[in-house]
């Protein structure tokens, strides 16, 4: 072997320097940092105009192993900001849901007002709740004589089955949650077996006209303690439509 031979070279070119890529990356980062520094120097009020950037910047105080009071306060504020942002997102989600519910209720109200008779109004109500509110089961019970052709949803005042609905009619407010077998049978009839939770809404407008039931096969869909603002409005609208077709309004 010739000890005086020169360094080995790759045929067709020089041996690449493995440090070139790292050097280029370092140079790129240095350029970026310099550009950022220059921009901050020219715009010292950036963080005042964009305070949200502070929550993403780590600022440490030179105090050894101890954590400065300022760092602790910043950490607390960041945690509070995260909690508040999560709550805000939840409120926005609820607001969007309520807006959608209000719009669907408005459309259903207009459809009910266009019904020519009580039978069409009842069918429109059922269809609207199935399609617009994803109800798995809908039932309507009307109490007393309604005149004209008899409807399957009508029961007389002396019907023994009405005892199951006495509490809802007497209290005059929607009930949400798990209902009794007797309530499921009279309100939902053939669909009773699929109802795991429901809301029973009294139809009251000058007098008691009956009960509207909305059922779900999800046991958690309706539960005690949930809001009933839209359910009350729905009950009032349905009762007024029934009243108008009976000539009471």
Q: Which domains does the chain possess?
A: 117-245 (3.30.450.40)
CA atoms within 13 A on the CB side of 99: 6
Q: What is the pLDDT of residue 205?
A: 87
pLDDT at 218 over 50: yes
Q: Which residue has the higher pLDDT, 27 or 5?
A: 27
pLDDT-derived band at 93, boundaries 50, 70, 90: confident
Record the pTM.
0.65
Q: What is the mean pLDDT of residues 219-246?
A: 92
pLDDT-derived band at 153, boundaries 50, 70, 90: confident
pLDDT-derived band at 72, boundaries 50, 70, 90: confident
pLDDT-derived band at 66, boundaries 50, 70, 90: low
């Amino acid at each position: 072997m010739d000890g005086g031979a020169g360094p080995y070279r790759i045929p067709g070119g020089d041996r690449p320097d493995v440090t070139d890529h790292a050097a280029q990356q370092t140079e790129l980062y240095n350029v970026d940092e310099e550009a950022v520094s220059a921009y901050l120097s020219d715009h010292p009020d950036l963080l005042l105009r964009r305070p949200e950037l502070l929550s993403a910047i780590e600022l440490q105080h030179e105090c050894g192993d101890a954590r400065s009071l300022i760092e602790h306060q910043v950490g607390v504020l960041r945690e509070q900001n995260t909690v508040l942002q999560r709550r805000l997102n939840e409120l926005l989600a609820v607001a969007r849901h309520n807006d959608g519910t209000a719009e669907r209720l408005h459309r259903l109200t207009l459809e009910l007002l266009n019904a020519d008779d009580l039978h069409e109004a009842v069918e429109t109500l059922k269809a609207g709740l199935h399609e617009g509110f994803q109800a798995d089961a809908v039932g309507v019970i009307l109490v007393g004589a309604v005149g004209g052709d008899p409807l399957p949803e009508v029961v007389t005042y002396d019907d023994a089955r009405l005892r199951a609905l006495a509490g809802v009619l007497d209290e005059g407010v929607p009930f949400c949650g798990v209902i009794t077998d007797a309530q499921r049978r009279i309100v939902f009839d053939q669909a009773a077996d699929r109802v795991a939770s429901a809301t029973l809404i009294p139809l009251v407008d000058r007098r008691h006209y009956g009960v509207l039931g909305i059922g779900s096969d999800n046991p958690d869909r309706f539960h005690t303690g949930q809001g009933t603002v839209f359910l009350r409005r729905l009950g009032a609208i349905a009762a007024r439509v029934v009243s108008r077709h009976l000539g009471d309004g």
